[in-house]
Amino acid sequence: MNIGVAIFGLALLVLLHEAGHFYVARAVGMSPRRFYLGFPPAIAKVRRKGIEYGIGAIPLGGYVKIPGMHRPAASDLDVLFGPALQEQPQIFPKIARVRRSLEAGALDTAREGLPALEAALDEAELSPMAARTARRGLNELKDGLSSDAYWRQRTWKRVAVIFAGPGMNIVLALLLPAIAYMIGAPGDPNRIVRHVESGKPAAAIGLRPGDEIIAVNGAPTPNFDAVSHAIRDSHGDPITLAVRRHGERIILGPATPVKLGGRYILGFNPSWNKKRFSVGGAFGQSAHDNWVATKGTATFLPRLLTGAGRKDVSSPVGIVDYSSQAAGITFTLFLQILGLISLSLALLNLLPLLPLDGGHILFSLIEGLRGRAVGREVYERVSAVGLGLFMILFFIGLSNDIGRLGGG
């Protein structure tokens, strides 16, 4: 149940990120072609006012297609229509007409040649793969040559559309913890047991919800930090607990802590002292938390070059695990963790690397200063480097998560 809630929360953050792109694009005159709940292929879709709304088969996040992210180039036609041209050479004149127009920079003329190219493709007998590639290429050309194409817009509009995604995550990063603080967010943990996990040492020795742990191995534990340190520092040796239950002191154990995620545990969750704020105080505390987390992220990035820093990298597997644990403790803690995840998504996407949003913002500014578009091949080469870096980080994070979940 908690894992399902965690997955839903992460998917919602991604979906709202895409919704930010979608609504700001419409507001500044770029009509998105698609908006999906989940990722294609579609299992259900409907078209309204030229926009295809659908539910994707991959149930994570969302997807929005903004038209004409790149200025069409003559070299694009080799990739888009190469398979179709090999199977049906008679369509070459129609492709050549569009190519000449693109080479000359006559975009309106190129657009005027698309209906004839589309008719030639409809008449040609193509294999399913070549037909799909050609149809996709034709749609890309139509989008790239349209008046609302992204690459044609003024710089401020392009930056606004791209920033809207991480901007939405920043808003959520402020809003979700603020809601938690207004409801009553968990503060410091205390010595009173809230939940005991079945099958763990705590359950085996008879620890119960409501018990107050007052000593470990005879040493008084004035707060939960003392309890936690005593269990952690046991290094797996048997320990006894003294608890107060209904006003009576009871000795439980000995119990042998088990190692999970690199630390020793007995298998119980503490209760938490609640902190409740006014509306202004809640947003002020949330802003403070976000600022501290932002500074922590800024100092963390250089440490990725070190072994200790790489051990702190996590993948979506770890993110879901952490947030599901938070959901199992209290809903308000889950909201706080979800807010931090939203902030992380925003900061990650604002890194000036393609294909991240920050990379698109950087290239939009460069193109605005140059007064002309950067070629698609430049985008693709830089994106390949960015994708390579993030694939490396993903596998480092996944390896860390597998080791942590496996107790290594």
Tell me: the pLDDT tens digits for 147-192? 999 999 999 999 999 999 999 999 999 999 999 999 887 777 888 9
Are 377 and 353 within one domain?
Answer: yes
Q: Is residue 172 part of a domain?
A: no
Q: Is residue 157 part of a domain?
A: no
Domain end call among 270, 300, 330: 270
Q: Is residue 45 part of a domain?
A: no
126-159 burial string, b = 16+ CB within 10 Å, else e? beeebbebbbebbebbbbbbbebbbbbbeeebbb
Residue 22: C-alpha distances to residues 53, 140, 158, 237 (Å)? 11, 18, 12, 56
Tell me: the pLDDT tens digits for 249-275? 999 989 999 987 678 899 898 887 777
Are 358 and 291 within one domain?
Answer: yes
Q: What is the DSSP letter of 375?
A: P
Q: Is residue 29 part of a domain?
A: no
| Number of domains comprising the chain | 3
**Domain, as residue range, for 232:** 189-270
Tell me: the pLDDT tens digits for 279-326? 999 999 899 989 988 887 777 666 665 655 556 655 555 565 656 666
CA distance 332 to 265: 24
Are 391 and 308 within one domain?
Answer: yes
Residue 180: C-alpha distances to residues 9, 277, 282, 378 (Å)? 15, 9, 8, 45
Are 346 and 388 within one domain?
Answer: yes
Q: Is residue 63 part of a domain?
A: no
Tell me: the pLDDT tens digits for 360-379? 999 899 988 888 877 777 88
Are 97 and 198 within one domain?
Answer: no
Q: Is residue 87 part of a domain?
A: yes
Are 245 and 136 within one domain?
Answer: no
CATH number for the domain that contains residue 219: 2.30.42.10
Residue with tokens 């998560």: 401
CA distance 357 to 363: 10
Are 309 and 227 within one domain?
Answer: no
Contact predicate 290/176, CB 8 Å: no
Are 283 and 333 within one domain?
Answer: yes
Residue 77: C-alpha distances to residues 109, 110, 193, 398 (Å)? 16, 12, 66, 39
Query: Residue type at 159?
Result: V
Domain end call among 270, 287, 317: 270
Q: Is residue 17 part of a domain?
A: no
Are 265 and 298 within one domain?
Answer: no
Domain end call among 148, 170, 204: 148
Q: What percentage of the chain carries pLDDT values higher than 90?
A: 42
Are 307 and 384 within one domain?
Answer: yes
- The helix/strand count (H/E) of the chain reads as 15, 10
Q: Is residue 365 part of a domain?
A: yes
